Structure 1
Amino acid sequence: MLLGVRHHGPGSARGVRAVLEAERPAAVLIEGPAEADALVELAADPGMRPPVALLAHALDDPGRAAFWPMAEFSPEWVALRWALERGAAVRFFDLPAAHTLAADPTWDDGENEGEEGAVGDGARIDPVAELAGVAGYEDAERWWEDVVELRGDGDPAAPFRALAEAMGALREAYGHGGHPRDLVREAYMRLRLREARKEFGDSVAVVCGAWHVPALTLRTTVAADRALLKGLPKVRTGATWVPWTHRRLARRSGYGAGIDAPGWYAHLFTAPDRPVERWTTRVAGLLRAEDHPVSPAHVVEAVRLAETLAALRGRPRPGLDETTDAVRAVLCEGSDAPLALVRDRLVVGDVLGEVPEGAPAVPLQRDLTRRQRSLRLKPEAEERELALDLRKGTDGDRSRLLHRLRLLGVHWGEPAPGRTGTGTFRETWRLRWEPELHVRVAEAGVWGTTVEAAATARAEGRALAATTLGDITALAEDCLLAGLADALPAVMRALADRAALDTDVVHLARALPALARALRYGDVRGTDTAALGEVAAGLAERICVGLPPACAGLDADAAAPLRERIEEVHRALGLLPDAEGTRERWTGVLHRLATHDRVPGLLRGRAARLLLDEGRIPDDGAALLMGRALSPGARPPDAAAWIDGFAGTASGGGLLLVHDERLRGLVDAWLASVPAEAFTDVLPLLRRTFAAYEPGVRRALGELAARGPGAGGPGASTPGVPGFAPAPDRERADAVLPLLHLVLDTEAPA
């Protein structure tokens, strides 16, 4: 009894179940790797909930892996569960994964699992599309739905006989389709089928892709089949069950081509009576939960419209196309926005299967599962945000686990951009579990049997292999985030060695911010960072010595990235604890940059602005530096670059010009003095500087320029700048400090 199916087809699954119930075979052979025989009993465990997949991987190279997914509506899963419930023998009879994983990747593309074939010249064919074309259908999926998925009750074996005959004709026309692997697989299948018939007689049912059925009926000899298998490469292989998702079923992997609507197929399988009414009700519930106005009358009207469309299109019952068209027209009022939600949540869906605890797994996977349960971090297929407060014990442990997994290459969680505050006690993660992460965990198992031990060993290995200072400083930061205290000594030795040999001040400047962030994280996470502080202080000293010569004589292209390095170092020094002496030296470096004529205008302007923001130069000192930069003897392009560095949008310079009339007057006077022949050259840079300001800042600057110098408004404390005093009132500004200390939970200085 050969039951040729389409993988993940609910119609095929119902037919398989009906035939098995009617025939009651003593043994069932299922297309799948032979190693899965040892995992059959787990399918009957109450903890097993599809969709799941058989995972086979090479023990010496876990990255070489293959999946065989099964959903609740997969014929293979239905046959497997039927055999276990009825006490029939069940075996997987496809070529062992030990051979498949060892084969040359160019031997076959691995996608011809009953859904596709090929002709001799390498062009691939879709057998279902070929049959649909013969029947006069342009859409193969619609033909399959009409013939199999939406068919009424009748002889359950009839579709299998018809498919076997059709596939026989296709195999006569196209042969093996240019896929030599099919010939080898089918030879192995025939050998296993002979063994089963020898043991159980004719009471054997075979569930496999319909494309293979004609090959299983060929009259060949045992010797001929064994000759095809002779000399196949082989690797040591492990196999287990892993959770799968509906979303992954919609991609090309494992059994055949991906299906477009796994959620819809699951619905057809679990709700064979009145499927359209039940589906439309589910859609209405989803839309109502998202605050869309949907009433019972909408549901009734949508069902009627779907049935009418099916009748007009000559279909036996409404399919997904008719139901979707009715939902769009009635429930979504013609809008594609809510329909996209329906497609994502219901037509595809984020259902994640489960496997029992007894399923084989590498030790690292078992430790990860234990940690997930103890921290109440359940893997989910749907993306969700996780906000952590690192001052709380459980949240701190969750953060360390996620950072350790990222270090191992298991990207279950990704830090949410813009939501994780550097050096603070809060983190925000986006979590989504993908089935492929089981392979990544298996690969990471070579580093250790627990997540902490594996992450520690991986960090030490990366420290030895790192070739740049930036790589090691980033690794040190990762170790602190992950709480890997045992890995820090090796990382710190590598960091100290690399820092001592690296003489490029740009490399040093790029490495320092990561160390400063790591030191701040240590304050929150309770990690000893004394050795890290020593290295950071040494880097800061070397930067202070080497940066001024490195900035001299640069052109505009080289000055732009160096400005970013200067800003990063400035912020990093503000994070370093007990670095008052280093910060004083850094102030001297900024003074040298701001006043050195050979330093590009972009860097001189940026250094002057940093000094002004830190209160290291008085207001008239900034005006003096600006006056020198914008003097008549300065080249216009260099003066424009100075303005970009001093008042560019990245430094909040627009507000500074709004509030400081003297600086604004200097810029205004310089602009008016630029010769006409030079103005065209500096205009692009000026537009880049001023056009990036916020609209409100540009409007305020325009109004002030229109009033002209000294045109102050009523109540102004100084001419031309309404509402602003000649200098900041420090006493009034300090009045807010007690409230800030209360909000930030810090101690006010004595």
Structure 2
Amino acid sequence: MKDSDSPRRGPLLLGVRHHGPGSARAVRAALEAARPRTVLIEGPPEADALIPLAEHPDMRPPVALLAHAVDEPGRSAFWPLAEFSPEWVAIRWALRQGVPARFIDLPAAHTLVWDKEEATGIEAEAPDAADGSDATVRVDPLAVLAEAAGYDDPERWWEDVVEHRGVGTGDPLAPFTVLGDAMAALREEYGAGGHERDLVREACMRLQVRAAEREFGADVAVVCGAWHVPALRERTSVTADRALLKGLPKVKTDTTWVPWTHRRLARASGYGAGIDSPGWYGHLFRAPDRPVERWLTKVAGLLREEDRIVSSAHVIEAVRLAGTLAVLRGRPLPGLSETIDAVRAVMCEGSDVPLALVRDRLVVGDDMGEVPESAPAVPLQRDLARLQKRLRLKPEPLERDVELDLRKDTDAERSRLLHRLRLLGIGWGEPAASRGSTGTFRETWRLRWEPELAVRVAEAGVWGTTVLAAATARAEADATAAQALADVTALAERCLLAELPAALPVVMRVLADRAALDADVGHLAQALPALVRSLRYGDVRGTDTRALADVAAGLAERVFVGLPPACAALDAEAAEEMRRHVDAVHGAVGLLGDGIAADHGDIRGRWRAVLRVLGGRDTVPGVIRGRAVRLLLDEGALAQDEAARLMGLVLSPGTPPADAAAWIEGFVGGGSGGGMLLVHDERLLALVDAWLTGVPAEAFTDVLPLLRRTFSAYEPGVRRTLGELVRRGPDARGSAAATGAGVPGFGTGLDTGRADAVVPVLRLLLGLDEPDGSDVNDLVGVAG
């Protein structure tokens, strides 16, 4: 009989729940009692060399082992470990005792390519909390055991039988024996639990355990998910186990430690790490005694920081209530549900609003781990860490807004870093609306560091060893690969924001080629605004943008020439899209004209000529004609009388109602301030009112949707004012003379009663006090 086939004493199998503080305490007690010569831990063997870093003074959990394919960093997997994870406790115990610690799970080289769809991203081999196996296992052993014990909540059952069980009395190995027997019964019933990959993983673990036993003898401890314990007890042959591993695909991998967060340990975050309340579990692990009292004191402190009135009496009453609820519910000690109910009733006065803060800050928590600088990392990660430290931009799990003043050197460098990272696909920061100034010298960023960004950094490492070099190479590659002109102009804008002078010539060359070949006016109009914004950014950053200005001016000329014919014979949808292009070009020309008028002539004047052509051609859709007239009016290039005349022509009985409604949509629709224009120009409002009341009944239902869209975009105050003016009706006595051309407005005329009411105040302000009252008549005349 072969040695591998003969009966043997099994190793010390410590079946745990991943990220379970009760399991972690039990593992520590069992290791202290058994004193094994080596500790084997469920995890990727490629990370064995990283285990000593767990004892580094700068290492602070939660952290995760990251494994990724060298040639395809996006193909990656995480193995998270918190302070209260049994695996982390086992690693730290082994290091402090000078005992070898090793990982024994299936190598990441196989895991990352076994099932590419499953392995891509962060879900591969993520242990499920309930059973210690893969996140895709269909059977939840804890749920089955909880149901057998009469519980409808597996979390509550686990708290009662494990988390609330004291350590230090009785046999420290007893809980592992009982849990292992329970899992053996479940494995006998459910087999692999619906995921055949476990069979291969367990074969690999058995081979590793045998190797450790040959090296260290029988004093071997294994810390693994409880689900795997029956399989590791099973006596199989080496040949059978190796057969299961034969022919598995593999890929070259790198591993390192990366910071993790409590939020990523929670199921609600989308990562199946298996615990709903990492903050609560961390508290249970750290609290030496009286965990409920300490927890409720912490809750009271949080609520007081948020200016809620919470006293020590509230804490005392909440502790009593939590204990009473535990007794009523037949629980050995108050759990999370009892403390939450007590906080809601006593400290939150029955409201779930402050309770949501407690859940977010304490039950889940914002803890983020730290990894020492000596941990392996791609060169790009090291350069990023150096920049973060120098610019005092510490990665944090909490979302926060950062205001940057680009006139300051440090803020300008921060802006460049964040823009370069966005270009590399590392979304640490996203631009946000500024609360104060909207000038180009100020930026607002919303920052939040997620652990997955470590994968993005590894992926971006293929572009270069520094952030600057990687961003430059990525920009050049994106410019060459871009198909649409708007994509290239947007990339040019991003290059200026990120200050990539080496990439800009390549982008500009591609931009010039694309602009010369693209004859679509819509594409040209889409591209122009981004170029003009780039000129503004170049000004505030002191970048030489003369080449960009030449391209922008040439692009503007092509838009001017091609826009009028492109606006003819458009359907309603195409006309609305072209109207948006006209708005974008108008805004861009306003900025472009200020910046390069001296070198490229009167660009703004030529644009006004284009608008006059668009506003006067019958073949141009009404929405575009109306917007052209409105833009000329806003620019001061069209008199109000002329605008009123053009509106009167469009709203004449000879114009189809649908065309007239489209013209109104273009003139006063959208967010262009058309509502305020009608409020202050009663003559235009009177024209719209007269036309609308004269629309035939059979045509009204056709124009109503367009009119509703036009006026529904106004602010509520504007709509209310217009409604009051229309309800008041035209008043020729009050405003016909003022509006001219005999067109009545919606003025109210002189209200002598209201005028008389202000006379005493005016007399006091002007120092008038004529006893005969003659001054009163003078004041009334002034008011009139």
Same fold by TM (over 0.5)?
Answer: yes
Out of 125, 128, 151, the residue aligned to residue 142 of structure 2 is 128
Match of 2:365 in 1: 349
Q: How does 1:286-685 map to 2 (within 5 A)?
A: 286-417=302-433, 424-576=440-592, 577-579=595-597, 581-685=602-706
Aligned twin of 2:160: 146
Q: Quote how far apart the aligned CAs of 1:624 are.
A: 1.7
- Shift of the 691–199 alpha-carbon distance from structure 1 to 2, 3 Å rule, reads closer
Q: 1:91 to 1:695 in 2, by over 3 A?
A: closer
CA deviations on 1:698-721 (whole Å, 9 max, x unpaired) are 3333333314232439x9999857
Matched, 1:710 2:724: no
Contact 2:17 2:131 in 1 (8 A): no
**Is 2:184 the counterpart of 1:179?**
no
Give 5+ residue unaligned stretches, structure 1. 725-750
Match for 2:442: what amino acid? R
Q: Is the 8 A contact 1:716 1:723 kept in 2?
A: no
CA-CA distance at 1:19 after TM superposition: 1.1
Residue 56 of structure 2 corresponds to which residue in structure 1?
Answer: 45
Residues 640, 686 of structure 1: 8 Å contact kept: yes
Larger mean Cα displacement after TM superposition, 291-300 or 194-203 = 194-203
2:231 maps to 1:218? no
Residue type of the alignment partner of 1:692: A
TM-superposed deviation, 1:89: 1.2
Q: Which amino acid aligns with 1:412?
A: W
Change (3 A) 1:469 1:401: same
Partners in 1 of 2:694 and 2:230 — Cα distance? Answer: 89
Q: Which residue does the alignment assign to 1:27?
A: 38
Q: Tell me the CA shift for residue 433 of structure 1.
A: 0.4
Equivalent-residue separation in structure 1 for 2:733 and 2:173 (angstroms): 94
Q: Secondary structure at the match of 1:2?
A: strand
Q: Give the whole-Å Cα distance in 1 for the aligned partners of 2:337 and 2:633.
A: 66
Task: Give the corresponding residue for 1:195.
Answer: 211
Post-superposition Cα deviations, 1:585-615, rounded to whole Å, max 9, x if no partner, equal: 1101000011111111111110000000001
Aligned match of 2:279: 263
C-alpha deviation, 1:179, in angstroms = 2.4
TM-aligned CA distance change 1:217 to 1:107, over 3 Å? farther
Residues 594-644 of structure 1, C-alpha deviation per residue, up to 9 Å, x if partnerless? Answer: 111111111111000000000111121111211211122111111111111
Give the match for residue 59 of structure 1.
Answer: 70
Cα distance in structure 2, aligned partners of 1:517 and 1:201: 71
1:692-731 to structure 2, matched below 5 A, reads 692-705=713-726, 706-712=728-734
Aligned to 2:258: 242
**Contact 2:624–2:663 at 8 Å: present in 1 too?**
yes
User: Structure 1 residues 564 and 228 mapped into 2: Cα distance closer, same or farther (>3 Å)?
Assistant: same
Q: Shift of the alpha carbon at 1:676?
A: 2.9
CA offsets 1:550-593 (integer angstroms, 9 cap, x no match): 11121222211111110000000111112352211110100001
Residues 145, 721 of structure 1: alpha-carbon distance in 2 compared, 3 angstrom cutoff: same
Q: C-alpha distance in 2, partners of 1:115/1:288?
A: 34
Cα deviation code 1:289-327 (max 9, x no counterpart) = 111111110000000000000011111100001111111
Deviation for aligned residue 1:177? 2.5
Residues 38 and 221 in structure 2, CA contact (< 8 A), matched pair in contact too: yes
Q: Deviations over 1:381-411 (max 9, x none)?
A: 1111111111111101101100100100000
Once the 2 structures are TM-superposed, how far is the Cα of residue 689 of structure 1 from its aligned partner? 2.0
- What is the Cα deviation at residue 693 of structure 1? 2.5
Q: CA deviation at 1:117?
A: 7.0
Distance 2:270 2:574 in 1: 51
Specify the SS of the correspondent of 2:202.
helix
- Counterparts of 1:117 and 1:17 in 2: how far apart (Å)? 20
Asked if the contact 1:423–1:517 (Cα under 8 Å) also holds between the matched residues in 2, the reply is no
Is this contact kept in 2: 1:196–1:204, CA < 8 A? Answer: yes
TM-score normalised to structure 2 length: 0.89
Aligned to 2:186: 170
Give the letter aligned to residue 732 of structure 2.
G
Give the Cα–Cα distance (whole angstroms) in 2 for the partners of residues 324 and 696 of structure 1.
44
Displacement of 1:106 in angstroms is: 6.9
Question: Cα distance 1:342–1:375, how it changes in 2: closer, same or farther (>3 A)?
Answer: same
* SS of equivalent residue, structure 1 residue 538: helix
- Count of matched residue pairs: 722
Higher mean C-alpha deviation, range 576-585 or range 394-403 = 576-585
Which of 52, 63, 84 is matched with 2:95 structurally? 84
Shift in CA distance, 703/710, structure 1 to aligned 2, threshold 3 Å: farther
1:166-225 CA distance string (max 9 Å, x none): 111111122222423212111111111112112221221111111111111111222222
- Partners of 1:130 and 1:112 in 2: how far apart? 21
Deviations 1:320-347 (A, max 9, x none): 0111111111011100000000000000
Contact 1:6 / 1:209 at 8 angstroms: preserved in 2?
yes
Deviations 1:669-722 (A, max 9, x none): 222332333233222222322343233323333333314232439x99998576
Query: How far off is 1:527 after superposition?
Result: 1.3
Cα deviation, residue 422, structure 1: 6.9
Tell whether the 8 Å contact from 2:731 to 2:748 is kept in structure 1 after alignment: no
Q: Aligned partners of 1:241, 1:18: CA distance in 2, in Å?
A: 27
CA contact (8 A) 2:264 2:273 kept: no
**Cα 1:562–1:434, aligned 2, differ >3 Å: closer, same or farther?**
same
Specify the SS of the correspondent of 1:124: coil
> Displacement of 1:272 after TM fit?
3.6
Q: 2: CA distance between counterparts of 1:230 and 1:429?
A: 51
In the alignment, residue 685 of structure 2 is paired with which amino acid?
Answer: R
Between stretches 249-258 and 447-456, larger displacement belongs to 249-258
| Percent of aligned positions that are identical | 71
Unaligned runs of 5+ in 2: 1-11, 750-784
Q: What SS does structure 2 have at the residue aligned with 1:712?
A: helix
